[in-house]
Amino acid sequence: EDQVTQSPEALRLQEGESSSLNCSYTVSGLRGLFWYRQDPGKGPEFLFTLYSAGEEKEKERLKATLTKKESFLHITAPKPEDSATYLCAVVGGSNYKLTFGKGTLLTVNP
């Protein structure tokens, strides 16, 4: 059974204070790891897909990296508008269904 564990559950940063969110996973034959952002009252918004260890993707202040056991979402010089819940999900093997982690609630204070 695929498993995804995200840490920390909640993270509070000051504006400009860089940090990282962790997504540890157990999957048989990773086909893809996905990062999403979710704002209150909205559906998850797709950010990145990573397919193999060593791969990196960047978008504005966000950078996602992937190893064989975990992924990191690095947030550089965050702004208050980066406040959201960040979700990680994996799909693996012959099962094309996504397994989601419970998310990290990020709060960036001005």
Partner 1 sequence: DAGITQSPRHKVTETGTPVTLRCHQTENHRYMYWYRQDPGHGLRLIHYSYGVKDTDKGEVSDGYSVSRSKTEDFLLTLESATSSQTSVYFCAISAENSSPLHFGNGTRLTVT
Beta-sheet pairing, 30-38 with 10-14: unpaired
Within 8 A by CB and 6+ apart from 20, the residues are 72, 73, 74, 75
Under rule CB under 8 A, residue 44 binds partner 1: yes
Judged by CB, which is closer to partner 1: 75, or 87?
87
Under rule CB under 8 A, residue 45 binds partner 1: yes
DSSP annotation string for 83-96: -EEEEEEEEETTEE
Q: Select from 24, 31, 57, 72 the one that contacts partner 1 (CB under 8 A).
A: 31
Under rule CB under 8 A, residue 56 binds partner 1: no
Under rule CB under 8 A, residue 43 binds partner 1: yes
Judged by CB, which is closer to partner 1: 32, or 72?
32
Tokens of 103: 């998310």
> Residue 93: which region, alpha, beta or left (left: phi > 0; alpha: psi -120 to 50)?
left
Under rule CB under 8 A, residue 57 binds partner 1: no
Q: Which residues lie near partner 1 (CB under 8 A)?
A: 31-32, 34, 36, 41-46, 49, 87, 89, 91, 96-98, 100-103
